[in-house]
Amino acid sequence: MMASVRGKASDAESAYERTQKAYKDAQNRCKQLKAQGEDVPEDGERDISAPGAWKPPGVLAARALKVARDAMAKAKAVWEKAVVAAEAKEQKHSAVKEKLMAAQAKKAAAEEAEASATRGAQPRGQGGAAPVKKRPAAK
């Protein structure tokens, strides 16, 4: 159970890292295109051309940057949620494990006390306390 929770958290972390890398790559592409003299629209500028129309490389790079930023935000939210869930499960697991260890220690102590108390005792019917006498039946 803990392995599946840890696996989900690590999967979410790797997905977040991939989206970070894609975002950095898109940023670098935009910087390269600006350095080459291409027109790269800033955040908030709308593309008013037709959806099927040819787009210059700067517009495509800006769109890829926006998509990568949105994907990174979603992946970060999923990753944070998975980490919180994993930490909660870890705490619950460790608390249950501590209770189990305490119960096992208590059981071992009780068994040891019982064993030490019965070491000197004789088996039933071979001495020890006198048998209990019953009262006579009422007349």
Domain ranges (residues) in the chain = 2-47+54-111
Annotate 22-81 with DSSP letters as a single string: HHHHHHHHHHHHHHTT---PPTT----S-TTS---HHHHHHHHHHHHHHHHHHHHHHHHH
Q: How do residues 92-126 score in pLDDT, each as one tens digit?
A: 999 999 999 999 999 999 999 888 887 765 555 55
Q: For position 116, what pLDDT does the model report?
A: 85
Radius of gyration of the chain (CA): 37
pLDDT tens digits, 51-85: 889 999 999 999 999 999 999 999 999 999 999 99
CB atoms near residue 137 (< 10 Å): 5
Question: Do residues 78 and 36 make contact, with C-beta atoms less than 8 angstroms apart?
Answer: no
